[in-house]
Chain A
Amino acid sequence: MPAIDRSRLPSVGPDPRFHFPQIVRHTLDNSLKVRTVEHPGVPVVTFVMQIDGGLGADAAGSEGLASLTADMVDEGSGSLSAIDVSDALARIGAEYDVEVGADTTMFTLTTLARFGERGARLLSQMLTAPSMRESDFARVRQLRLDRLKQLKDLPPAVAERAFLRLLYPSHAYGHLAIGTEESLRLLSLEDVVAFHGATFLPARATLVVAGALSHAELRRLAEEAFGGWDPGERLEELEAASERAADSTPALLAIVPREGAAQSELRIGHLSARRDTPDYAPLLVMNAILGGQFVSRINLKLREEKAFTYGVRTGFDWRRGMGPFFVQTSVHTAATAESIADILAEISGLRGSRPATPQEMSLAQASLTRGYPRNFETTQQVARSVAQLALFDLPDTYFEEFVPKVNAVTAAEVTRVAQNYLDPSRAIALVVGDRPATEQSLTALGVGELRVLPPS
């Protein structure tokens, strides 16, 4: 056998062909939209129910309502108590998960294919006929209030909460899903029941079923379990948060003091783009070059060159409405101000003085596209991906078109979107960290006066 040539890296062959499995659309008589995807191999099935109305549907003063309502879904149904529901889920080995996003709430249930019917029926009972008992409500709300108390100790949570408030001072996106102590205290079971009645309607929902079964069988699972879901009365259409004008905020430097903190938790960013922007693909490439992957300008600078952090990441928090571009990291306290300066300098550099090089373009595009098939190994990955199509109103051909679209992005486009969507002059820079140790150097940054925020 010939020895390996170690004088150069082996060449990589052409990308293997990959086709996303066919998505079949169905609409039930009660208007529930159903998407089925066959995913043979391991006998598992995943149901994702996505309902319009995430944290953005919380009215001012009722922050946390969408999330609290979602939490009440597994607290009993009909003759089943909260304990019974938990037991029923466990007996089919189900993985059950709730995610309250900005625009929608997503319920995911995965079980063995042979328990598909039981899983679907259980999910349907939980979502469409939750018991909504006062005693369960009181317990769940109290747990959330206590959880909020605990989050005050967790620097990333403190940073997230303060950052959202600064990004959206008056918009419905400006809070964590869990809400605030003040708002939770005011919420009642009646609020939850009303919110459930107004939002948990088949016409506002999409059900994705992916698994090791045929389309016909997957459809039958959906139909048998959810065909009887009462279409409900068509109430006045709720105004979606995504349609409301976003806030416009000036540049800001702020700190949430955390005495003696070993690290500073940082968030830097500003509102930037909606998910339906025509520049989505160039923005992905631009972000990959700037800080969206390990080999990116900001991570190489702060981690591999300066050893200020264990890691740093940039990204877009995509929403139907205006969402932020953000940088997030945790850095050594002594390196706080210099890290912020370096991050802002890297953003400025990509906007003009140091545009993307051909090598960077190629690396970013390859890393976004060549490994794309690995995102579709499990039924959960497949079902959640299809739910994204419903969330953002994307065509069923989206996954097939992704790779060519990203590969078509040019360096000039990356510069253009960096200029149009990133703006250090209106960046909000937030520190959760030791004030005495950082105040002087932060003030000396010259990005504005340091605003001291209350501890969460």
Chain B
Amino acid sequence: MSTAIELPHAKRTLPNGLDVLVHEDRRVPIVAVNLWYHVGSKNERIGRTGFAHLFEHLMFEGSEHYNGGYFTPLQQAGALLNGSTNTDRTNYWEVVPTSALELALWMESDRMGYLLPALTRERFETQRDVVLNERRQNYENRPYGMALMALSAALFPPEHPYHWLTIGAEEDIRAMEFEDVRAFFRTYYHPANASLALAGDIDTEHAFELAEQYFGDMPAGTKPQPVEADASLSREIRLVLEDRVELPRLYIAWHSPAMFHDGDAEADLLADLLANGKTSRLYRLLVYEKRIALDVSAYQHSREISSFFLLAATAAPGQSLTDIVALIDECIGELIDEGPTNHEMERGIAQAEAHFMYRLQTVGGFGGKSDQLNAYNVFRGNPDFFGGDLERYRRATSETVRKAARAYLAFDCRVLLSIVPRGKDALALAGSERVVVS
């Protein structure tokens, strides 16, 4: 059963510090170009939140030698392209027909080396407004859309960079200064803080040559200091937030092990066995048997500095969050006492194995093989971890999962957030404090 699943690749580091990773997959005549910068909202500070993400938008607006929107020439070549920012990293990618690989490398390298001359105040201000629209659309105008903001603020102290979300605070976005762009770019956007992955219809040696050609003459920068921050909870925090929703929802959040640390894979398995599918413990109990919840979800939000484990359940009409939390606690209590059954462990590991295999199907885009190689390289300093990553799941046992539940899902150190319809804060858990987010 335990067949090896690998993601073969080669790595070289250019003299200027740029890591280059190459993976060959010649099935379809396309190549994925995927470039990570090790910067995210964790590198921001209070009062300047949202900057890393706004900056990502600016990277599509032009560079010195191609002073125009980046989508035009790349679309013209048949490319698919995008970028994203999270707490820990910013990524940019193109999936191009093999014949357009050099175009993508030219453009990625031009914006790495020569962004600032093309950046105007007008472009900056337009993208700032686009981001405010993005924030309204995806957070303010979405039911339960402010939950993660409230939870992050409660889980992490104000000076911790996970205290705020990557999208940033509205007043911070409004107050951003064009002048701040320059320093941010110089600090974070250079070869020593980046990792380039090329995957697909390409010869490994040729890929390294091209990377050297396009990126080799970029001046080396200084690798930024890693961000370190501590966070812990020593009590249970109960919060209530009113929102434009029909049905109350309860969120429960705990601190959990950072990405790839001991216990991280176990937390992921716990999430599955608690709330993934009808057969999971909480779905079965809350939605299938008792029918007091409409849905339940669990997710280990694995991140670089520290993670959090999040459970959420929406009350069925007329049902109370108090009853829901009582059942959740009972369920977690059983898991802490007895651990998962062998049947549950087999199922969880079978699912993990299948999902690792599915991850080998696409070369590019979010979650494609090029993106995965960069994730391992940036967060572990070594791209050679696909098999090792899966091993973390294969090694998990009922006992290690039970220990993880006991260590991380404590009843007295967590945040409970009730989101209730406007004017109905009586539907929140008892003792909840009103929280304001905007």
List residues of A whose CB falls within 8 A of some B CB.
1, 3-4, 6-7, 9-10, 12-18, 40-44, 82-83, 85-87, 89-95, 110-112, 139, 142-143, 146-147, 149-150, 152-155, 261-263, 265, 293-295, 300, 303-305, 307-310, 330-332, 362-363, 366-367, 369-374, 376-379
Contacts and interface: CB of A to CB of B under 8 A. Distances in A.
B99 A12 contact: yes
Contact of B355 (A14, A15, A93, A363): A93
B235 to A, nearest CB: 32
A374 B95 contact: yes
Contacts of A14: 99
Interface string B69-93: 1011101111110000000000000
A4 B109 contact: yes
A94 B364 CA distance: 23
A370 B354 contact: no
Nearest to B30: A374
A4 B354 contact: no
Given A87-B279, A308-B133, A378 B362 contact: yes
Interface in B87-144: 95-100, 102-103, 106-107, 109-110, 114, 126-127, 129-130, 132-134, 136-138, 140-143
A42 B361 contact: yes
Nearest to B113: A6
Given A1-B216, A7-B65, A12-B100, A83 B284 contact: yes
A150 B142 CA distance: 11
B71 A90 contact: no
A87 B347 contact: yes
B278 A82 contact: yes
A262 B75 contact: no
Contact of A90 (B95, B107, B279, B363): B279
A83 B288 contact: yes
Contacts of A40: 27
Nearest to A154: B143
A304 B58 CA distance: 11
A216 B101 CA distance: 37
Interface in B273-299: 276-279, 284, 287-288, 291, 294
Nearest to B127: A307
A307 B133 contact: yes
A150 B143 contact: yes
A304 B127 CA distance: 8
Given A9-B73, A18-B29, A376-B28, A262 B141 contact: yes
Contacts of B244: 153
A6 B28 contact: no
Interface string B245-279: 11100000000000000000000000000001111
B213 A4 contact: yes
A85 B79 CA distance: 41
Contacts of A263: 133, 136-137, 140-141
B19 interface: no
Contact of A17 (B29, B106, B277, B346): B29
8 contacts: A89-B277, A110-B358, A111-B354, A155-B142, A307-B127, A307-B133, A374-B364, A377-B30
B78 A371 contact: yes
Query: Nearest 10 A-B pairs (CB), nearest first?
Result: A93-B354, A370-B78, A307-B129, A16-B29, A371-B78, A13-B99, A86-B278, A153-B143, A310-B134, A86-B279
Contacts of A16: 29, 97-99, 201
Contacts of B433: none
B143 A369 contact: no
Given A16-B201, A146-B317, 13 more contacts: A13-B100, A17-B29, A41-B27, A86-B279, A90-B277, A91-B347, A147-B294, A149-B317, A262-B136, A263-B140, A295-B69, A300-B69, A377-B362
B30 A93 contact: no
Contacts of B213: 1, 4
B132 to A, nearest CB: 8
A293 B71 CA distance: 10
B279 A370 contact: no
Given A153-B245, A262-B136, A139 B291 contact: yes
A369 B29 contact: no
B97 A373 contact: yes
Given A43-B357, A295-B75, A309 B277 contact: no
Contact of A371 (B73, B95, B209, B247): B95
Contacts of B134: 310
Contact of B77 (A12, A42, A90, A95): A12
A94 B354 contact: yes
A261 B288 CA distance: 35
A87 B76 CA distance: 47
A110 B357 CA distance: 11
A57 to B, nearest CB: 27
A329 to B, nearest CB: 9
A307 B126 contact: yes
Contacts of B110: 6
A374 B129 CA distance: 33
Given A295-B75, A309-B133, A378-B361, A4 B99 contact: no
B354 A112 contact: yes
B351 interface: yes
B214 interface: yes
B133 A332 contact: yes
A379 B103 CA distance: 29
A417 B142 CA distance: 37
Contacts of B109: 4
Given A12-B77, A112-B354, A308-B133, A3 B361 contact: no
Nearest to A41: B27
A177 to B, nearest CB: 18
Interface centre among B29, B97, B142, B284 (most CB of A within 10 A): B97
B316 interface: yes
A332 B170 CA distance: 14
A150 B277 contact: no
Contacts of A18: 28-29
A87 B347 CA distance: 8
Given A4-B106, A13-B99, A87-B347, A93 B353 contact: yes
B205 to A, nearest CB: 14
B334 interface: no
B195 interface: no
A115 to B, nearest CB: 8
B294 A143 contact: yes
B175 interface: no
B153 interface: no
A112 B357 contact: yes
A110 B359 CA distance: 13
Given A7-B65, A12-B77, A371 B246 contact: no
B350 interface: yes
Contacts of A378: 361-362
B100 to A, nearest CB: 5
B63 to A, nearest CB: 10
